[in-house]
Amino acid sequence: MRSVRQCSRTACARAAVATLTYVYSDSTAVLGPLALMAEPHSYDLCEVHSGRLTAPRGWEVVRLSSPTTEPGPSQDDLAALADAVREAGRPRHLADPAPVQDGEVARRGHLRILRGEG
């Protein structure tokens, strides 16, 4: 069973979607996708708190990516998948016949009928 990490903000019980890390030497707050493991010097934030994040005066906030947006399949991916399913479900006798190569008269399965050379 996979445990869900909660937001680090006090009294917030929502699931974390982003990880906040401070780089003190550069006066920078870095907000990125949820880290694979909880780290002691980073903070997990929910969607609401990661969207409202502000940094102290003089600090910069770097947002590595939108932590709440998951890329889904594109229309091209879905069309290719639908075409592959249709092709796999098409009966063999309705499938396009293999092209006849030079010297071939016909083809049946793995056998070929070739023209004689005489």
Q: 67-98, pLDDT tens digit by residue? A: 445 556 667 777 777 777 777 777 766 555 55
pTM of the shown model? 0.53
* In 1-118, alpha helices (H): 47-51, 75-89
Residues 16, 7 contacting (CB under 8 angstroms): yes
In sign, the C-alpha dihedral spanning 71, 72, 76, 81 is positive
Q: How much is the pLDDT for 2?
A: 52
Q: Which token pair is 92?
A: 């063999």
Q: How much is the pLDDT for 83?
A: 76
Q: How much is the pLDDT for 73?
A: 63
Which segments in the chain show pLDDT lower than 50? 1, 67-68
d(CA 75, CA 82): 11
d(CA 115, CA 106): 9
Q: How much is the pLDDT for 43?
A: 94
Q: How much is the pLDDT for 1?
A: 45
d(CA 31, CA 43): 9
Q: Name, in order, each residue with C-beta under 8 angstroms of 87's C-beta and a sequence gap of 6 or more.
A: 95
